[in-house]
Amino acid sequence: MAKDEKKKVSNLEEVPQDTQESMLPDTTTAFPGMLAGNSEDLFKSKMMAMWTSIPSENRGQILKASQDADFNLMDYFDKNPGSFIPVRDVLIHNVELIDEETGATQTQARTVLIDTNGLTYSSVSAGVLSSLQKIFPLYGFPTWNEGLKITARRVKTRRFQTINLLVQD
C-alpha cells in the first residue's frame, strides 16, 4: 500500500494497535494507546494519553485545545439547531472527573473538534468518541482541509443520555 493511501476498515477495534498507528497520516500526533479498544477502555492508563490530528509543530494549538474549548459541543448545537461544524482536526485526551455524589475520580476521554476557523468544541461523552471510531474508517483520519460537516444529536439510552456525531454528506 502506498504511504499516502488511507486504509479503510469496517471496525477499528478489530485492527491491531501497530496497524492502526500505520493507518494514520504523517501529520498525526499519536501517543500510545489512543486508538485501540472501545470508548470505555480507550484510555486505561492513568498517565496522560493524547491523540490529535494537529501537526506536532503546532504545539500551541494542541495545548490550547487540550486546556480550554471555545464551546461545549452540545451547548453549541442546542443554541444552533440544524447547524453543522466544518471539522478540520480532532484532539482526544484524558481528563480526571470527580463524581459529585461519591467523590470518586474517573478517567474519561475528552474529545475536542477543531473547525476550519480554529474554533474548538469539546465533549466528554463516550458517544462522541464512539462516533469518531466509526467516522475515521469511513471518511479517513483528519486533517480534513475542507472541513467534514459534522452535527450532533442527543440519544437516550436505558440508563442515561449520550451524544452521537453525524456527518452531513
The answer to whether residue 10 sits within a structural domain is no
Does some domain include residue 1? no
Predicted TM-score of the model (pTM): 0.71
In a domain, 6, yes or no: no
Q: Of 29, 144, 148, 167, which is closest to residue 93 (Cα–Cα)?
A: 29
71-98: per-residue pLDDT in tens? 999 999 999 988 999 999 999 988 888 8
Beta strands in the chain (DSSP E): 29-30, 50-52, 71-72, 85-98, 105-115, 120-123, 148-156, 161-167
Q: What is the maximal distance between C-alpha atoms in the chain? A: 52
List, for residues 115-148, the tens digit of each pLDDT value.
Answer: 999 999 999 888 999 999 999 999 999 999 999 9
80 lies in a domain? Answer: yes
Cβ–Cβ < 8 Å for 32, 18: no
- Per the structure, the count of domains in the chain is 1
In a domain, residue 9? The reply is no
Does residue 13 sit within a domain? no
Instruction: Kindly state whether residue 5 falls inside one of the protein's structural domains.
Output: no
Domain range spanning residue 46? 18-167
Instruction: Report if residue 52 sits inside a domain.
Output: yes
